[in-house]
Amino acid sequence: MQKKYFVLLNYKISIFFNMNVFYVAICSILELLKKFIEAVNKIASIDCFNRLLQSIAL
């Protein structure tokens, strides 16, 4: 009985650990995506700004 409980506990700990790793991985991927989107937005807004200036110049 004791051993069975220990195995179950171990199993739960490993699942928890795997979930943690999974969570951290997802968080880091989201963080990278956010940085990428921010960079794209900066480039896009600069492009937009240039177009706006060109349209005013015309």
At 31 the pLDDT is: 94
**Cα–Cα distance measured from residue 32 to residue 26, given in angstroms and rounded to the nearest whole number:** 10
Distance of CA 41 to the CA centre of its chain: 17
Which pLDDT belongs to residue 1? 62
3-class secondary structure, 58: coil
pLDDT per residue of the chain (58 residues) written in tens, 0 to 9: 677 878 888 888 888 888 888 888 998 999 999 999 898 888 888 888 888 888 888 7
Half-sphere exposure of residue 11: CA atoms within 13 angstroms, side-chain side? 6
Supply the DSSP string of 30-45, one letter for each residue: HHHHHHHHHHHHHHHH
Q: Is the pTM of this model over 0.75?
A: no
